[in-house]
Amino acid sequence: MKIVVLLKQTPDTETKIKIDASGAGIDHSDTKYIINPYDEFAIEEALQIKEKNGGTPEVIIMSFGDEKARELIIKGLAMGGDRGVLISSAGLEAADSLTVAKVLAAAVKAEGASIVLCGRQAIDDDNMHVGTMTAELLSWPHVNVVTKLTVTGEKAHAEREVEGGKVEVMDVSLPAVFGAHKSLNTPRYASLPGIMKAKKKPFDSKTPADFGLNTADLKGKIKVAIKGYEYPPAKPAGRLFQGEDVDVMVGKVVELLRSEAKVL
């Protein structure tokens, strides 16, 4: 059995996002990247499945991106992954979700994986597309927002959150794709021995062509293009009330909420 974990590099949540001079892109010169947080839950779940099955499934940490993703894949290997795969996005930097899914689906198929784990969504674009599209392209079952996962032989039992605090229970046959929710587990920290071992673990550098895909053809089929970015409007300055009777201040606040904010 092989388990592929799809990893995406995303800007650190504390990074200040800057629009570039063209207005149609992001200036990433000062951007610090991290593993998409939901993908860390996917990595942990893959490692737990491996441990519960006697350490036999191979856990492959896979990403489609530029060289900056290499260090993040190595972090996944330090957590306990067995092998890293970085598929170069050169020439496809503006790839939309479907294009990314096509590349990943071809890579997963080439690996002969039985399980694909990914985060429920990425924290940068928040689309929640790639996992579902990858499963569809592979013609595999897909369960997203998974809060509990049990793998037994060629079957998997998954539970997922739905609105209203209810839980859906799904039994699927493998191979399948699962999207991890943050309540699925608690990701482990990479130990010092794990960090040292990660640098010696197998690491494959690939291109879409290695999976029978043509970069120019993929680029020509991109359906979504970013036309421009703009910063959100500045928030109005706050009002400070002090030095007056509390009842008077409350009356003023209520009046402003009614006449200006129009929330009452």
Token pair of 58 as six digits:
């191979």
Q: How far apart are CA 56 and CA 201, in angstroms?
A: 16
Fold of 2-220: Rossmann fold (3.40.50)
Tell me the average pLDDT across 6-22. 92
Band (118; pLDDT cuts 50, 70, 90): very high
pLDDT at position 251 is 86
CA-wise closest residue to 127 among 144, 142, 139:
144
The answer to whether residues 80 and 198 touch, using CB atoms and an 8 Å cutoff, is no
The answer to whether residues 61 and 113 touch, using CB atoms and an 8 Å cutoff, is no
HSE-CB of 85 using CA atoms within 13 angstroms:
23
CA-wise closest residue to 37 among 182, 142, 174, 178:
182
pLDDT at residue 261 is higher than 80: no
pLDDT digits (tens, 9 = 90+) for 67-112: 999 999 999 999 999 999 999 999 998 899 999 999 999 999 999 9
The SS3 of residue 40 is: helix
pLDDT at position 189 is 93
How far is the CA of 107 from the CAs of 67, 82, 132, in angstroms?
A: 18, 17, 15
pLDDT at position 39 is 97
pLDDT at residue 12 is higher than 90: yes
| DSSP-assigned letters across all residues of 132-196 | HHHHHHHT--EEEEEEEEEEETTEEEEEEE-GGG-EEEEEEESSEEEEEPTTS--PPPPPHHHHH
Q: How far apart are CA 46 and CA 43, in angstroms?
A: 5
Band (246; pLDDT cuts 50, 70, 90): confident
pLDDT at residue 202 is higher than 90: yes
pLDDT at residue 241 is higher than 80: no
pLDDT at residue 198 is higher than 90: yes
pLDDT at position 33 is 94
Tell me the average pLDDT across 168-192. 96
pLDDT digits (tens, 9 = 90+) for 21-39: 999 888 988 899 999 999 9
The answer to whether residues 99 and 221 touch, using CB atoms and an 8 Å cutoff, is yes
- In this prediction the pTM is 0.87
Q: How far apart are CA 197 and CA 191, in angstroms?
A: 10
Tell me the average pLDDT across 251-264. 84
Sign of CA dihedral 136, 137, 141, 144: negative
pLDDT digits (tens, 9 = 90+) for 129-173: 999 999 999 999 999 999 999 999 999 999 998 888 889 999 999
The SS3 of residue 100 is: helix
Domain with CATH 3.40.50.620 in the chain: 2-220
pLDDT at residue 243 is higher than 80: no
